[in-house]
Structure 1
Amino acid sequence: MSLTRSLAARVLATRALPPGAAQAARLSLLDGLATMAAAVTLEPAARPFAEMARGSGAATLLAGGSAPPGLAALANGALSHALDFEDTFDATGMHPNAVAIPALLALAEGEEAPLADLLTSLALACDLTCRISLALATDPGAQGWYHPPMIACAGAALGAAHLLRLSPDQAVAAVSLALVQFTLTDALKRSPASDLRAVRDGFAARAAVEGALLARAGVTGTLDPLGESGGLIPLLTGRAPEVAAFDDLGRVFLGEQVTLKLWPCCRGTHPAIALGLALRADGVAPDRLAGAAFTVCPPDDMLFHPLADRQRPQTAIGAKFSIPYTFAQAWRQGAPGLAAFAEAPRQDEATLALGGRITLEACAPGLTRHARLRFTDGREEIRPLPAPPVLPAGRAALADLAAKLADCRAHAPQAAHPLLDALARPELPPHLGPLLAPLS
């Protein structure tokens, strides 16, 4: 049996979640929808997606209006990474729910699926994305790929197959038909003017939805789109899948290990933010710094290149991918919220002057992350980059997200407030349809 069919059969046989996995999926859904709703007003690059999608259809757009499921997944998915506030599987740097939530939300509404079914499919999609990333023997970046949304596309396609109750063969076709629509290269990391960094997951979400719907209609694909020669995993790595990553599939749900972000920027910036906050807590004045050179591990060199843009980012998403900016901003202003990446803070000359003194010293696998700080009095100090706070979805409570949800709600359209408020209550509603209606 092919790898993809084996995984599909095991996924489709799962109809209930253990309590921890159900809670993690519930918090990830709330967390994801809150960040997407805030992006409606905060990320201009996502607006053309909603304008293009808006029309007649069964799926609601968070930016207002409705569309067919594939276009709704595209428009809503363009919001999911736009603020870089979505959850993260830290073991491999995946953002599994950034694709799964907009894809499954679009399908669940059209199918009138209960919220419990949506959460089960979401947990499975998230789990598969994490596991596929663990099955990679080498770094796809070395092959020129930017792989997180590509892998999340496959996971979301299997989650969509579960939600639509497809057969194992149809689920294999859904993955194949999704993957043929979407690829992304490593050039994304080094193109500061590109909007792709913000909106990339919309393309993956649309591909997952349309792949599953085409498979249900009888269209077929290749036999093993994950494991075959030329399949996703060999294509990304040049190696066969490490199948041990799937051993406990259905028994352990890796969505419980996914962490909910507390700061709205690239996860790779968080240790530098933690250092900035530590210096601030120690009472070290930022104007005493003559320069700081950071040592990091791949792929965090992208958070320094191109250096001119990282030191003076021109866009919000550029600032979120910048260690010079986020370190300087945290040291001067404290823990960043969404407002830290607005135009006025990004143009603050004191912050930019401090960020202009931040450079990269070294980046290689296995290095100890640290910063070499040089002060105006000639003193030099090496500080390790602290471990940032983490909030695993499997151990989090609704109260842990209160500040983040309030920040997102303050920027979300008024029509999205009933949806966010209902999902933040202890008892969940049976369906999302009535809560989405004010947006349609």
Structure 2
Amino acid sequence: MTSLATSLWDRFGSLTTADIPEGVQTIARQSMLDWFGCALAGSAEAGPRIVREEFGGVPGPATVIGQGTTTAASHAALINGAAGHALDFDDGNAVMRGHPTVPVMPAVLAVSEELGATGSELLAAFVAGQEIQARLGRIMGGSQYRKGWHTTASIGVFGATAAVGRLLAFDSERFGIALGLAASMSGGLKANFGTMTKPFHAGMAAGRGVTAARLVARGFTANPDAVVGSQGLCAATGLPEARLDVLDDGTWFTTRTIFKYHAACHMTHAAIESAIRLRAAVGDDPIERVTIAAHPDLMSVCGIHRPRTGLEAKFSLTATTTFALLGIDTSDARTFDDSTVARTDVGRLIELVRVDTDPSVMPGTSTVIVEAAGRSHRQSFDTNAPATDLTVQGDRLLAKFRGLATPVLGADATANLIRHVHNVADLDSIGVLGETLRGN
């Protein structure tokens, strides 16, 4: 048996909530609630609607979030994954090099409903999937991302597969086979950022994770060395030889989750925060020039200078900084609409913004310099570090969640969902989660 699968499954294959520290459980619950809000609000977007129309007609037990319907588990994971990433408002993890919850939670939710799992089983499977995909991201994610892979999909498929394997009580042999099958289902390209395809990547990873694990449960075969072995995923994509010694140092990588409070690519957030802080200093002075100092890697992700659509604006460092300087609320998902991009004041200011790349600037940090009325104003911000005060983080996420979920569910159901997630480990059945998420 491959040492990769054995190393991962020895630690996480039998994980229970009793094994998970309370702080890790807290962050996991925050991730669930945050993603549920993103999926509820994202379900109304055009991309998820198209995916739902294509895949939602198959009968099954799994919730289609925000739609009052159910479908087959793999289809629900695909649909909900696309919805949960449609706003690009869901959490991130620098170890995984992607969005950690969106590939895993749709798969866990769908199969948990299918199996009639308890809340404790759902929570343990979710954390197992998060931890395993983070470790695979640690091996492959940095190199993959730089080469143009969307690691939320290419790494996330392994997290989804692992989480479902935990629900299905896999042993290490079946997990290794499922890992091998998932390696042939890994994909997603950064070239499609700014289009409906980016959130589809996340749904694709979740749905494929369900499919991979369920096929293996039926006896399907694959090479357990298809990730790091000869002619496996690492070799085929030109990645360095995997270092398996970095797989387990006792860390819980769920604690490295970073939540988003702006509905755009995370790499734009440091500049947004800097620009928000500069507004008071600039006041009503006419802006003459704006300079953003950022790491060169940002330009391969959010380098669209003059976006044409709201989706493209999410991946435009210049546009998001312009929005913030104009006082346009980037925490409101409705901001990223074609009409905002078409505003005259946005078009005028965005032409005054330039990006100076500097490899000495840490990714996740940016400095914004605004020249106005003959004066220069400078502000820097760092979005790299996860929060240390989980209570404060929880309060911010509750406010964000209510803003996303209440228009879809109403105030009472939103409050019920908050309560169910807070007490998820004590739920005898997750049926109440699905019922509330459907909007019934």
TM-score of the two chains, using structure 2 as the length reference: 0.88
Contact 1:418 1:435 in 2 (8 A): no
Q: Does 1:325 align with 2:319?
A: yes
Q: Does 1:124 align with 2:128?
A: yes
Closer/same/farther in 2, CA of residues 246 and 69 from structure 1, 3 Å limit = same
SS, match of residue 291 in structure 1? strand
Contact 1:153 1:178 in 2 (8 A): yes
Residue identity matched to 2:46 = P
Deviation at 1:235? 4.0
Deviation per residue, 1:313-363 (Å, 9 max, x gap): 412x22221222211212222652223224443333223322232122225
* Distance across 2 between alignment mates of 1:219 and 1:254: 31
Q: Does 1:308 align with 2:292?
A: no
Residue identity matched to 2:32 = L
Deviation per residue, 1:69-112 (Å, 9 max, x gap): 11111101111211111111135532111100111111110011
Aligned to 1:295: 293
Aligned to 1:252: 251
Aligned to 2:408: 412
* Distance across 2 between alignment mates of 1:137 and 1:66: 34
Aligned to 1:340: 335
Aligned to 2:84: 80
Closer/same/farther in 2, CA of residues 205 and 217 from structure 1, 3 Å limit = same
* Distance across 2 between alignment mates of 1:389 and 1:326: 18
Aligned to 1:370: 367
* Distance across 2 between alignment mates of 1:111 and 1:286: 59
SS, match of residue 294 in structure 1? strand
* Distance across 2 between alignment mates of 1:223 and 1:435: 34
* Distance across 2 between alignment mates of 1:351 and 1:409: 29
Closer/same/farther in 2, CA of residues 320 and 430 from structure 1, 3 Å limit = farther
* Distance across 2 between alignment mates of 1:40 and 1:186: 22
Residue identity matched to 2:298 = D
Closer/same/farther in 2, CA of residues 323 and 181 from structure 1, 3 Å limit = same
Deviation at 1:416? 6.4
SS, match of residue 386 in structure 1? strand
Q: Does 1:52 align with 2:54?
A: yes
Residue identity matched to 1:404 = K
Q: Does 1:21 align with 2:24?
A: yes
Deviation at 1:436? 1.9
* Distance across 1 between alignment mates of 2:354 and 2:273: 17
Contact 1:143 1:237 in 2 (8 A): no
* Distance across 1 between alignment mates of 2:197 and 2:427: 34
Contact 1:260 1:390 in 2 (8 A): no
* Distance across 2 between alignment mates of 1:298 and 1:148: 21
Deviation per residue, 1:365-409 (Å, 9 max, x gap): 6568433433353x455x353124965498346423222012112
Closer/same/farther in 2, CA of residues 181 and 433 from structure 1, 3 Å limit = same
* Distance across 2 between alignment mates of 1:412 and 1:234: 45
Deviation per residue, 1:22-67 (Å, 9 max, x gap): 22211111111111111112x2111011122223101110133111
SS, match of residue 87 in structure 2? coil
* Distance across 1 between alignment mates of 2:212 and 2:232: 16
Closer/same/farther in 2, CA of residues 64 and 407 from structure 1, 3 Å limit = same
Q: Does 1:71 align with 2:75?
A: yes
Aligned to 1:351: 346
SS, match of residue 395 in structure 2? helix
Q: Mind listing any 5+ residue stretches in structure 1 that lack a counterpart?
A: none
Closer/same/farther in 2, CA of residues 425 and 21 from structure 1, 3 Å limit = closer
Kindly report the root-mean-square deviation, in angstroms, between the aligned alpha carbons of the 2 structures. Answer: 2.7
Closer/same/farther in 2, CA of residues 50 and 113 from structure 1, 3 Å limit = same
Deviation at 1:419? 5.7
* Distance across 1 between alignment mates of 2:434 and 2:303: 40
Q: Mind listing any 5+ residue stretches in structure 2 that lack a counterpart?
A: none
Q: Percent identity?
A: 23
> Which structure 2 residues correspond to residues 165-314 of structure 1 after superposition, within 5 A?
165-189=169-193, 192=194, 194-248=195-249, 251-282=250-281, 284-285=282-283, 288-302=286-300, 305-309=303-307, 313-314=308-309
* Distance across 2 between alignment mates of 1:419 and 1:238: 46
Deviation at 1:426? 5.8
Alignment counterpart, residue 147 of structure 2, candidates 127, 143, 148: 143
* Distance across 1 between alignment mates of 2:388 and 2:28: 8
Contact 2:143 2:239 in 1 (8 A): no
SS, match of residue 26 in structure 2? helix
